[in-house]
Chains A and B, each alone.
Chain A
């Protein structure tokens, strides 16, 4: 039995060399004896080959023919679309990219590097775990092509002009103009349900210099209806140094003789604020405003009562 790789390689060669699109019958005729006889079996084998080409990334072009083959589908490979454009990377640029790929340990990046002609790099001192999701490459291409994407999210259909993908902490977000809501929205990519549909390219303009970090605050404590809301928190000496490093000197309202500090902390999002506060254990106490202090007391009281 012929090796499956042989027929598919011949198919790529044939479709790349041909001057005119070829019908399935013409293909089978050229690749003598490589496709099974009989219309159904031949068609089935060819469909499998097409799927294999798609999976490999080989762009297969189709065209509805006229003339003697009117109405039939012709196939060819456009060499310009098939071939990798030379990036003209210098040796030091290749090396820098190798290190970056070795640090991130993404299998597809490693293979892409081979295509670019770079060697495999040895792992650098700084490495990263980067989450991978099947939707990400699709969303990125749609972003570059300015194509509207559609997907299910929390049980409803969304249509989004994707502007950016953002990796923050361990999650990927897609950020763009939501057509249904008429405003910029952020979606977590791992919570997209099912696949991502991609519309026609060139469907929108990306705002110049769009920076997803400005839309999506790094500090979850700022996510809320009143982003300017602040709480005053007393942090005892054991944790004071760390908190000041985290928030910056500008957040310090008072330094106490025992080494403690009073700091100003965003509390627009109470859940996020509480998480931050409780991370300090018994070394921190909300001094004000009264409603935030009361909310923390109430939260703790409910937990005690649940005993």
Chain B
């Protein structure tokens, strides 16, 4: 329940909830207080306060148009409904978010284009004036080939044997993993899995899984947390690099989580977490001569060194 909330609740938030609670309650007639608290994410005192207040509302001269609600022995009772019989229409953010959530879910491998979700989506789109065909809100996060097998394994808690290419080490390894959760972030598909090679929970990028086969071994179900937003990448233990990039290099700050971003003349000063030196070498190659490493000193010449190594392929006769 919503124990984390502190302080007085704003009237707008209470009204928004009340206008959904009342019609729901009236349709049912009587509901346990606890059930209502859980559904509407309110503590019992909060729920009782708002319902008792609603019971005083309505239009005094017309008794039968008052909101008829009372609470007794852990139950909420609603009398003859006259007002607030239907929920308030969807607001613009609610409509947008529902459509987006449904369209995103349709991208999951195995989503049935004629299934329940597709039918719900069609009804929702029609009610919101969205185009049924090729809708106006499009979520385009195509799943990599291995996603279907990995998702199916996560549903069954089945172990997979995979060949995975690890960018940090630039090597391919074979291992067994038990997928727990599949996760889409910034266009990439990840799986959180028990890695039986290291004995730890690890995240893998699904497009880097080169081969995967079910093993038939079923592990016990286990809940795992999926972090939100940049928490996904944040890791205080990683070393940092301080970079100066020209105006056009600001994409770096949009693509990778930054520890700090500051304007600096006609460019930017960025502090980034460094997942591996290899990653930083690639980033510096992409940024080219106009980006400079300021800190730490051992990485100041890294971009030039990486470029020299690669340039040798072109000038040193490696090409045929």
Point out residues on A near B: beta carbons under 8 Å. 3-6, 8-10, 12-14, 16-17, 30, 32, 52, 55-59, 81-85, 87-90, 92-97, 99-101, 103-109, 111-117, 119-120, 123, 125-130, 132, 136-138, 140-141, 143-145, 162-171, 206, 209-213, 218, 234, 238-239, 241-242, 245-246, 274-275, 278-279, 281-282, 285, 287, 293, 296-297, 299-307
Contact = CB atoms under 8 A, between A and B. Distances in A.
Contacts of B96: 108, 136-137, 140-141
Given A52-B11, A129-B185, A278-B282, A304 B136 contact: no
Interface of B: 11-12, 14-16, 18-20, 24, 39-40, 50, 53-54, 56-60, 62, 65, 67, 83-84, 86-102, 104-105, 108, 115-117, 119-120, 123-124, 127-131, 133-142, 145, 151, 154-155, 165, 170-172, 181-187, 207-208, 210, 226, 228-229, 232, 254-255, 278, 281-282, 284-286, 288-289, 292, 301, 303-311, 313-315, 318-319
Given A85-B127, A285-B319, A303-B304, A167 B95 contact: no
A253 B193 CA distance: 36
A164 B137 contact: yes
A282 B12 contact: no
Given A165-B136, A307-B301, A104 B105 contact: yes
A168 B186 contact: no
Contacts of A306: 289, 292, 303-304
A279 B117 contact: no
Nearest to B255: A170
Which of A106, A145, A305 has the largest number of chain B CB atoms within 10 A? A106
Nearest to B313: A285
Nearest to B292: A306
A109 B309 CA distance: 51
Given A129-B232, A167-B141, A106 B97 contact: yes
A115 B94 contact: yes
Given A213-B138, A285-B314, A128 B183 contact: yes
B65 A114 contact: no
B317 to A, nearest CB: 12
13 contacts: A3-B53, A13-B65, A94-B120, A104-B105, A128-B183, A129-B228, A130-B100, A168-B187, A170-B187, A218-B140, A275-B286, A297-B314, A300-B308
A117 B90 CA distance: 12
A154 to B, nearest CB: 12
B183 A57 contact: no
B120 A96 contact: yes
Contacts of B99: 140
A101 to B, nearest CB: 5
Given A10-B59, A99-B117, A303-B303, 10 more contacts: A8-B11, A57-B16, A112-B91, A112-B94, A113-B98, A115-B88, A141-B95, A213-B140, A245-B145, A285-B319
Nearest to B107: A128
Given A16-B83, A57-B88, A285-B319, A96 B115 contact: yes
B287 to A, nearest CB: 9
Contact of A93 (B123, B137, B145): B123
A256 to B, nearest CB: 10
Which of B183, B310, B311 has the largest number of chain A CB atoms within 10 A? B310
B100 A167 contact: yes
A22 to B, nearest CB: 12
Contact of B101 (A10, A106, A141): A106
Contacts of A126: 105, 108, 151, 154, 181-184
Nearest to A301: B311
Contact of A300 (B58, B95, B311): B311
A210 B23 CA distance: 39
A144 B119 contact: no
Contacts of A100: 101-102, 104-105, 117
A74 to B, nearest CB: 18
